[in-house]
């Protein structure tokens, strides 16, 4: 990635060529800068709570019961059954637990395993930008070529969407995969049925596979914009890999328990890669995750309600300070246009404007956010935006607002 904060730390002399362009992820960079300046960290998207007590108890019980050796390659039968039931009730996808579910080290590994398992060198992969940063690396690992389609504010200026002709032009006879993320990080957009249908039609037309990253499936805030899985559209169940995890839904990002759901012919490809990436993931945590997905849907709902309340606390405060916010219908991120705020500040001209503002806010307001230029193939395209995470406890959000008011207000 051409984008660089000044403290970027990769060593080009030693890093393999296929990895060298990616440097140190922006999340690690901003979290390090936040720690250095004792800033409130609204950059990396992880909750600042200890996670649900029921999860701790279930994991401890599983360890004490002796579930401490390798799990089966596809995941424990209990967890695969629980994922099948959870998906059927949440997303109306009904996978076969034996041939249609693979438990992975978070959604991150599921995305890598699906890409490595399904994509050949020379294939093309359609990516929407701004993108979650691991997508580009997955495409590079597979030796494929990314084709970017940009999400931009729509005519009403309230949500991000894509331009249909631009998407159509990105599909070619080499397209193998399109990577879809809904609800979308970082824009907070939840793709509508019509938008998903447009993507699905192109997949069918070009015989392409959809890789759907749905890690924020439970975090939606607007009944008129529900989460829809592309796998449920006509003809798509057979050509979709749906990825999710318990990280966001159950406030357990550190557990790294995720999964890929797909028909058996695609699952075989995912497992072909998964067996050599990790083989299997933490057995006691799989037992505990099965319990959460089966018995503790109320926990996921209370996390959603909390994040909804934090969105409604942070977004109006940012708007008052001059940020033009795109009120998120999903995820726990808010994307804001900072043009007006930055105009009044003396920012370093050395980097993209968003990186300069993020550094300024971390050092002077002691609030860290993410510069989204890191999520664009041409970083300057993201220069006018900034992303804040609101998956934090209320005092954390209040402290961030107070700090920002002191410096910007």
Ligand X SMILES: Cc1ncc(COP(=O)(O)O)c(C=O)c1O
**List of residues contacting ligand X (CB under 6 A):** 45, 106-108, 132, 181, 185, 213, 215, 245, 247, 253, 256, 258
Residues 352 and 380: their CA atoms lie apart, in Å, by: 6
Closer CB to ligand X, 52 or 258, in the complex: 258
Nearer Cβ to ligand X (3/131): 131
For residue 120, what is the enclosing H or E element? Answer: none
Beta carbon of residue 106, minimum distance to ligand X (angstroms, whole number): 2
Strand runs (DSSP E) across 84-239, as ranges?
Answer: 101-105, 124-129, 145-150, 152-153, 160-161, 175-181, 209-213
Chain centre to alpha carbon of residue 160: 16
Neighbours of 343 (CB within 10 A): 9
- CA-based nearest residue to 132, from 197, 171, 178, 187: 187
Nearest position to ligand X, beta carbon: 106
The structure tokens 């041409």 sit at 378
CA atoms of 289 and 272, how far apart (whole Å): 24
Quote the least distance from Cβ 18 to ligand X, whole Å.
Answer: 21
Give the nearer residue to ligand X in terms of CB position, either 213 or 381. Answer: 213
**Residue number, 138 or 325, with CB nearest to ligand X:** 138
Shorter beta-carbon distance to ligand X: residue 258 or 379:
258
Q: Which is nearer to ligand X, 162 or 360 (CB)?
A: 162
**Which CB atom, from 41 or from 253, has the smaller least distance to ligand X?**
253
- In order, the DSSP letters of 236-288 are TGGGEEEEEEHHHHTT-GGG-EEEEE--HHHHHHHHHHHHHHTSS--HHHHHH
Minimum separation from the CB atom of position 236 to ligand X (A): 20
By beta-carbon proximity to ligand X, the closer residue of 191 and 341 is 191
Give least dist CB 334 to ligand X, A.
Answer: 14
Alpha-carbon gap, residue 97 to 292, rounded angstroms: 17
DSSP3 helix / strand / coil % (the chain, rounded to 5): 45, 15, 40
Sheet with strand 324-326: strands edge to edge: 324-326, 333-337, 385-389
Taking phi over 0 as left and psi of -120 to 50 as alpha, with beta for the rest, 92 belongs to left
Q: How far is the CB of 185 from ligand X (least distance, A)?
A: 4
Q: Which ranges of 151-260 would DSSP assign to H, the alpha helix?
A: 164-170, 193-206, 246-249
Nearest approach, Cβ of 55 to ligand X (angstroms)? 15
Give the DSSP H/E element, type plus range, for residue 335: strand 333-337
Minimum CB distance to ligand X smaller for 91 or for 253: 253
Cβ of residue 202: shortest distance to ligand X, in angstroms?
Answer: 21
Q: What six digits make up the tokens of 372?
A: 């989204």
Backbone angles phi, psi at 55, to 5 degrees: -70, -40
Kindly state the smallest distance separating residue 337's Cβ from ligand X, in Å: 21
Tell me the closest approach of the beta carbon of residue 256 to ligand X, in angstroms: 6
């Amino acid at each position: 990635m051409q984008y660089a904060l000044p403290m970027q730390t990769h060593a080009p002399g030693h890093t393999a060529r296929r990895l060298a362009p990616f440097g140190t992820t922006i999340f690690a960079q901003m979290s390090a800068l936040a720690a250095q300046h004792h800033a409130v960290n609204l950059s990396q998207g992880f909750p600042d709570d200890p996670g649900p007590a029921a999860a701790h108890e279930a994991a401890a019980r599983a360890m004490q019961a002796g579930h401490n050796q390798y799990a089966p390659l596809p995941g424990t039968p209990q967890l695969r059954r629980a994922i099948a039931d959870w998906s059927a009730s949440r997303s109306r996808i009904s996978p076969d637990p034996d041939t249609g579910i693979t438990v992975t080290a978070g959604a991150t590994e599921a995305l890598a395993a699906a890409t490595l398992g399904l994509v050949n060198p020379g294939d093309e992969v359609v990516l929407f930008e701004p993108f979650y940063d691991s997508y580009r690396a997955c495409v590079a690992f597979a030796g494929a070529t990314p084709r970017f389609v940009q999400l931009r504010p729509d005519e009403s200026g309230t949500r991000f969407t894509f331009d249909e002709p631009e998407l159509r032009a990105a599909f070619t006879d080499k397209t193998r995969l399109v990577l879809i993320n809904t609800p979308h990080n970082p824009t907070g957009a939840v793709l509508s049925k019509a938008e998903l249908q447009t993507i699905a039609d192109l997949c069918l037309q070009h015989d392409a596979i959809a890789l759907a990253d749905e890690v924020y499936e439970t975090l939606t805030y607007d009944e008129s914009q529900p989460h829809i899985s592309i796998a449920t559209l006509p003809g798509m169940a057979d050509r979709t890999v749906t990825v999710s995890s318990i990280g966001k839904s159950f406030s357990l990002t550190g557990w790294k328990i995720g999964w890929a759901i797909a028909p058996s012919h695609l699952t075989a490809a995912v497992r072909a890669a998964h067996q050599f990436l990790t083989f299997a993931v933490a057995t006691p945590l799989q037992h505990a995750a099965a319990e959460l997905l089966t018995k503790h849907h109320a926990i996921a709902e209370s996390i959603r309600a909390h994040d909804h309340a934090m969105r409604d606390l942070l977004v109006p405060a940012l708007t008052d300070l001059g940020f033009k916010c795109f009120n998120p219908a999903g995820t726990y991120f808010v994307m804001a246009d900072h043009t007006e705020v930055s105009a009044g500040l003396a920012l370093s001209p050395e980097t993209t404007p968003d990186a300069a503002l993020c550094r300024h806010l971390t050092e002077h307001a002691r609030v860290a956010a993410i510069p989204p230029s890191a999520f664009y193939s041409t970083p300057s395209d993201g220069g006018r935006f900034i992303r804040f995470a609101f998956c934090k406890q209320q005092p954390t959000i209040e402290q961030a607002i107070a700090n920002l008011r002191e410096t910007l207000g």
